[in-house]
Amino acid sequence: MTDPYVPDPNGQTESLGQLLGEVSKDISTLFRQEVELAKAELSESAKKAGKGAGMFGGAGIAGFFVLLFLSIALWWGLGYLTGNVWSAIIVAVIWGIVAAVLAMRGKKEVEEIKGAPKTAETLKKVPEAFKTSEDQR
């Protein structure tokens, strides 16, 4: 930002146009800084989300195979007690319940996502910067 207004020791003052130009430049700088802050925050969040998603993807594939073979073992074991058709239906119902619970939990997590809290906080302060000392009383 520019230096604050200091009267000229020779008694000359800046014109209204010059003062408005300074204010305009300061506002422009402020908004550019806010945009840069938002970009930095969102970029960092996106990088972390990408890495986390990749890890979850790998874990999901490995977990899928574990669950697949455990499900086949459960189906086979229940097949001795109830027959293969009923054991397959029982295993499918269990997985349906698990899917419903996970979907509800996932929806709740997505609803709790916060975007760029620091940027939002600083943008709330911008209008206060334009108030005069009389307005703030």
In angstroms, rounded to a whole number, what is the distance separating the alpha carbons of residues 42 and 50? 12
Domain residue spans of the chain: 16-127
Q: What is the pTM of this model?
A: 0.43
Q: Tell me the pLDDT tens digit for each residue of 4-33.
A: 656 666 656 677 788 888 888 888 888 888
The token pair at 105 is 């939990």
Residue 70's nearest CA partner among 86, 54, 94 is: 94
CB 38 within 8 A of CB 115: no
